Amino acid sequence: METREIDKIIARYNADPQEIMAMFMEIQDKEGYLPKSALSYLADKLHLRLAQLYRLATFYEAFNLKPQGDHQIHVCMGTACHVRGAPQVLDKLQQTLGIIAGEVSSDGSFGLKTVNCLGACALGPVVVIDGEYCGHSSPLKMEKILKKYKKHT
């Protein structure tokens, strides 16, 4: 990320350290994650320690410190989805992609994440791929959907 762009973000929030999370979100919206270079630059400009920024970035679930896959898969692990079989769906995805939740597949095509609750409980178990909701998902459905995405890649 170019420093010029980070400057714009900082200016938008009047360089106010209280708005640090909003700045993180904007950087992540652009890059998909928080690059180390961007965090270092931000720390310098806001006169904060880099460790402080990392503490925040690792405390909150929303921030990624590594680049994400081409396709983002979010598996809802809310209670309603859990009792309707979300763990089997997650197992299937982990097995097929050969990664565990939080990782990116070796070819960089899929990133797999779990989320605490998407609040779309009527559709449970829910998996969201690139913003698209796959409701009433199941291990068998996941296999078919992954094949479809692999073809597109």
Partner 1 sequence: MPVERGDSPFVGKLKSAADLEKLKLTILSERDPGKPCITVCMGTGCHAYENEKVFAALEKEIESRGLSKKVELRGTGCHGFCEQGPIVVVFPEEIFYCRVKPEDAAEILSSTISENKVIERLLFKDPLTGRKFTHESEIPFYRYQKRVVFGRNKSIDPKNIDDYIAEGGYQTLAKALVSLTPEEVIREIKRANLRGRGGGGFPAGEKWETTRRAPGEKKYVIVNADEGDPGAYMDRSLLEGNPHLVLEGLILGAYAIGADEGFVYVRQEYPLAVENITLAVKKAEEYGLLGENILGTDFCFKVKIRRGAGAFVSGESSALMSSLEGKVGEPRPKHINTAISGLWGKPSNLNNVETWANVPLIIDRGWEWYSGIGTENNTGTKIFSLVGKVNNTGLIEVPLGTSLRTIIYQIGGGIPGGKKFKAVQTGGPSGGCIPEKFLDMPVDFDSLGELGSMMGSGGMIVMDENSCMVDVARYFMSFLKSESCGKCTSCREGTGLMYDILDRITAGRGSKEDLERLEELAWTTGNTSMCALGKTAANPVLSTLKYFRQEYLAHILDKKCPAGVCKALIRYTIDPEKCTACGRCIRLCPQQAIRGEKDKPAVIDSDRCVRCGICLEACRFEAVLVE
Q: Which residues are at the interface with partner 1 (CB under 8 A)?
A: 16-22, 24-25, 55-56, 59-63, 77-80, 82-85, 88, 91-92, 95-96, 115-124, 126, 133, 135, 138-140, 143
Provide the Cα torsion 137, 143, 148, 150; round to 10°.
130
69 versus 78: smaller Cβ distance to partner 1: 78
Tokens 């089997």 label which residue?
A: 88
1 versus 117: smaller Cβ distance to partner 1: 117
- Shortest approach of partner 1 to residue 47 CB, angstroms? 13
1 versus 121: smaller Cβ distance to partner 1: 121
- Shortest approach of partner 1 to residue 83 CB, angstroms? 5
Q: Quick one: which H or E segment has residue 75?
A: strand 71-76
Within the chain, where are the H helices? 3-12, 20-31, 36-46, 50-59, 79-83, 86-97, 139-152
